[in-house]
Structure 1
Amino acid sequence: MWERSLVLSAPGKVILHGEHAVVHGKVRSLLPPVEGLRSGSPAPDAASALRTRSDFDESKSPSVEQLHTLKEFAGIAAGASAPESLATLAFLYMCLAISAKYGDVPNVDILVWSELPTGAGLGSSAAYAVCLAAALLTACRAISCPLKEGESTARWTEEELTLINSWAFQGERVIHGNPSGVDNAVGTWGMYVGKEVSLVTSRVPMLRILLTNTKVPRSTKVLVAGVKEKILKFPAIMNPVLDSIDAISQECQSVLEAMPANPSPEYYPVLEELFDINQHHLNVIGVGHPSLDMLCRVTASHGLHSKLTGAGGGGCGITLLRPGLEAEGYDATKRDLCACGFECWETNIGAPGVTLHSSSSLNAEVLHALSES
C-alpha cells in the first residue's frame, strides 16, 4: 500500500531565441521560467477502462481506439478540447498504460496546482504531463523515490529522467496529437538547445525576466505555414534571415555559458541587443503583431528590451530585467503594460527540470489547496 505523499514540480518554458528557425533546421534555445506544482482528481479503476492492457509502451503513440474508449469511460464528448477534459484523458491514459507495463498504480489522490496559464504557449500541459509521469512511475516503483530524509528536493537519475520524459511525451500526444517533444523535454531536464537536451542549472545563470501575455489568440499552425510560404516565395531573402536567427541563438548560448551564477551588469547590453535584433527578424518573417510591437515600445520607454516568445502573432513576450533595476522603474513598466490590457509576471529563467520536493517545502498557498481537496 502506498502511504506517502509525492510533491513534484516541473517548469514551463519560454523560447529565448530561435522561434520558427528551428522548424527549418536551425538551433533553438529554450529556458524554463516558471515552476508549478500538481492537481487533479482521484484515480479511477483504470483497468476497467479497456479490455486489453497489453498494447501500451512509452514508445507507442496512443491509438484512436484507446482514446475513444477512455473518452467513453470518462464521459468526455468526442472532439472535446477543454483543458480539463484533455488533462483528464491524459491522466487516464498514462495511469492505465503505466499500470499495464509496470504493475498496478496504487490508489492515489492527485492534486494539480499551477502558476502557468493554459493556452499561452508556456508549456503548461507538458509540465502537467511530466509531473504526472514522474508521480505515477514513482508510485508503482518503476523508478526510485530519490528524496532522502532531511532533504528538501531531489532529482532522478539520467536514465530515470529519460523514462519520465518518454511517458510525458505520450501524455502530450494525448493532449496535442503531434507535439514536437520540446516542451516535455524542458519540463524534464530544464533546458533544450537545438536537438540536444541538457541540464540548465550547471551552466546557465538565473536571469530575471518579465513575462507578458498579450492575450491575443493565435494559431501556431497558421503562423508556421505563413513562414514556410514566405521562404518558398523569397528564398534568397528569407534564408539569410533564418541563418541570422540561428547565429543569434548560438551567440546567446555562448554569452550565457560565459556568465557566472550571479552575473555582473556588463553582460546585459549584449543580451539586450540580441533581443532587439531577433525581434526585428521575427517581424521580417511575418510573425509579429501590433500587440507585440506595443509591448516592445512600452518597455523601451522604460529603457528595457523585449521580444516575442513562441509562435508570435500575439501570445507572449519576454523582457529582460537587468541587475540594479529599481522597483519604481519595474512597477511603472508593469503598470503601463497592464494598462494596455496585458497580463504580466516576474519570473526567472534557468530553473531545473522535474523535481521531487519534501512536504515541508510546500508554500502556504499550496498547503491550503491540499487541505481543501
Structure 2
Amino acid sequence: MQTREFFVSAPGKVILHGEHSVVHGKVALAVSLNLRTHLRLQSTSSGDVRINLPNIDTFLSWEITALQPLLAGCGAEQDGLKELDGDLLKRLREFTGISDDSTDTRSMAVLAFLYMYLTVFAKSLASITVSVWSELPTGAGLGSSAAYNVCLSSAALLSARGAISSPLTPQQESARWSKEEMELINRWAFMGEKIIHGNPSGVDNAVGTWGGFLRYHAGNITPLSWVPILRILLTNTKVPRSTKVLVSGVKDKINKFPSIMNPILESVSAVSCTCEQTLTEMAVHGPSAEHYNILEELIDINQHHLNVMGVGHSSLDTLCRVTLARGLHSKLTGAGGGGCGITLLRPETDTSVIQSTIDELKACGFDCWETSIGAPGVQQHSSAALSQDILKILNSY
C-alpha cells in the first residue's frame, strides 16, 4: 500500500449531439457533466475488504482469507489485461450468489469492485475500505457506472497498489495523473464497464477519465482540446425507457424509409461537426453572443431530428416548452423516450429566470439541477478540496 487514505472524483457524461446517429457510423459529441462521483479509500489492518455504497444502500465486507482462493489460476500480473477473465468472473458470481442474468445496480457494482480489486491486488491482497457517494442518479444515462469504475480503477486500486502515482502534492487541493497513467485508468475502467454492461462503447469511461468534450466516430474516441465550460440545466424527466427498444425503433425506421432517414442521420452528424467547430472558435477567440446563438440553433435542429427519428416523448416536449417560454433552448440527451434533457444557459441569463425555470420543471414532476459541462475528468483531491457535505458522507462509513 502506498498511502493510508485518499479521495478521488470523476464526472458523469451527457451526449451533446449525435445520439442514435452515432450507432450508424456518424459523429457524436460526448461531454463531461459536473455532477461527480466521489470515492474515499482507506488502508486498514482489519484483514478484510469493505465497500460502502450509500446511494444504493449497500455495505459489504469480505475477509481476505475468503477471497484469496478465488485467485487460483489467475495470472499475477494483470496490468496489460485486455479481456475479461471469464473464469474469475464465474467464480465471483458463485461466491457472491449473483446469477448470470442479474443486471441490478447493486449486484453489478459489487461484481465490478471485487473483480478489479482481485485482479489489481492479485500479488498481495490488501486490507482496504472503499466508500463511494455520487451526485449522479443511477440508470439515467448519465454515465454513473463509468464514473464509479473510473474512481475505482484510479483510487481504490491502481494508486493504492502503486501501479500509478499519487499526483497530489501537499500544496495542491486537486491534481490529475499523467497521460500514460490516465490511459491505464481508462483501460481498467473499461473492464468494469464490460462487467456491468457487457459490450459498452467505451465513451462513458473515456469521458469520466479525460473530462471535457470527446468526439466519437466509428469507434474512435478523440478528446478535444481547449474547449469552454458551458452552464446548463440538467433535467431528469424520470420517465423510464429502454435504450435497446429505442435503438431498434430507429433502425426499423431507417430500413423502412432509407431515403428519408439517411439524410437525417447525415444532418445530425453535421450538427455535431458544426458544434465542434463553434466550440473550438469559442476557446480560441473567446465566447461571443453569436457563438451562443449558433449553439442554441444547433440544439433546436438536433431536437427536431430526434423527434423525427421517433425517440421524443411528451415529457421532453414539456421540457422544451417550459424552457423556450423563457428564451432557453433544450434537447434530449441519451436514448430519449423520456430520460434526461439538457438546457443551455447563456452567460447573461438572469438567476431569477434560471430559478423560475427549475421551479416549474420540478412542478412538472421532474428533477432539475444547474450544473456545467466540459468539467475536468478524474482527479485526486485533498480533504480540504471537498465540500463539507461530501466529506461528512464519505467519512461516516
Pick aligned residue for 2:171 from 145, 150, 164: 150
Q: Judge conservation of contact 1:62–1:170 (CA < 8 Å) in 2.
A: no
Q: Does 1:118 align with 2:168?
A: no
Residue 109 of structure 2: aligned partner: 87
Alignment: residue pair count: 369
Find the aligned partners of 1:334 and 1:370 in 2 and give their Cα distance: 28
Deviation string for 1:71-121 (max 9, x for gaps)? 232243553333122111100001111123xx3353211010110000000
Residue 44 of structure 2: aligned partner: none
Find the aligned partners of 1:93 and 1:9 in 2 and give their Cα distance: 20
In structure 2, the residue corresponding to 1:308 is in which secondary structure?
A: strand
- Give, as a single letter, the amino acid of the residue that structure 1 aligns with 2:32: P
Q: Does 1:355 align with 2:362?
A: no
Residue 121 of structure 2: aligned partner: 99
- Give, as a single letter, the amino acid of the residue that structure 1 aligns with 2:164: I
Q: Judge conservation of contact 2:31–2:373 (CA < 8 Å) in 1.
A: yes
- Give, as a single letter, the amino acid of the residue that structure 2 aligns with 1:346: E
Find the aligned partners of 1:62 and 1:286 in 2 and give their Cα distance: 39
In structure 1, the residue corresponding to 2:303 is in which secondary structure?
A: helix
In structure 2, the residue corresponding to 1:311 is in which secondary structure?
A: coil
Find the aligned partners of 1:104 and 1:224 in 2 and give their Cα distance: 44
In structure 1, the residue corresponding to 2:129 is in which secondary structure?
A: coil
Over 3 Å counting, the alpha-carbon distance change for 1:355 and 1:197 in structure 2 is farther
Find the aligned partners of 1:311 and 1:95 in 2 and give their Cα distance: 32
Find the aligned partners of 2:37 and 2:358 in 1 and give their Cα distance: 22
Residue 164 of structure 1: aligned partner: 185
Pick aligned residue for 1:138 from 159, 166, 171: 159
C-alpha displacement at 1:268, in angstroms? 1.0
C-alpha displacement at 1:70, in angstroms? 0.8
C-alpha displacement at 1:49, in angstroms? 2.6
Find the aligned partners of 2:2 and 2:276 in 1 and give their Cα distance: 43
| Same amino acid, percent of matched pairs | 56
Find the aligned partners of 2:345 and 2:233 in 1 and give their Cα distance: 7
Give TM-score, length-normalised by structure 2. 0.88
Find the aligned partners of 1:78 and 1:302 in 2 and give their Cα distance: 49
Find the aligned partners of 2:274 and 2:178 in 1 and give their Cα distance: 30
Give TM-score, length-normalised by structure 1. 0.94
Residue 194 of structure 2: aligned partner: 173
Residue 83 of structure 2: aligned partner: 60
Q: Judge conservation of contact 1:5–1:359 (CA < 8 Å) in 2.
A: no
Segments of 5+ residues of structure 2 without an aligned counterpart are 41-50, 53-60
- Give, as a single letter, the amino acid of the residue that structure 1 aligns with 2:243: T
In structure 1, the residue corresponding to 2:133 is in which secondary structure?
A: coil
C-alpha displacement at 1:260, in angstroms? 3.6
Find the aligned partners of 2:250 and 2:133 in 1 and give their Cα distance: 36
Residue 30 of structure 1: aligned partner: 30
Find the aligned partners of 1:79 and 1:260 in 2 and give their Cα distance: 46
Residue 225 of structure 1: aligned partner: 248
Residue 185 of structure 1: aligned partner: 206
Over 3 Å counting, the alpha-carbon distance change for 1:31 and 1:44 in structure 2 is farther
Residue 315 of structure 2: aligned partner: 291
In structure 2, the residue corresponding to 1:317 is in which secondary structure?
A: strand
Range moving further from structure 2, 243-252 or 90-99: 90-99
Residue 369 of structure 1: aligned partner: 393
Range moving further from structure 2, 325-334 or 32-41: 32-41
Q: Judge conservation of contact 2:237–2:338 (CA < 8 Å) in 1.
A: yes
Segments of 5+ residues of structure 1 without an aligned counterpart are none
Range moving further from structure 2, 299-308 or 260-269: 260-269
Find the aligned partners of 1:51 and 1:322 in 2 and give their Cα distance: 57
Q: Judge conservation of contact 2:2–2:162 (CA < 8 Å) in 1.
A: no
C-alpha displacement at 1:67, in angstroms? 2.3
Q: Judge conservation of contact 1:43–1:108 (CA < 8 Å) in 2.
A: no
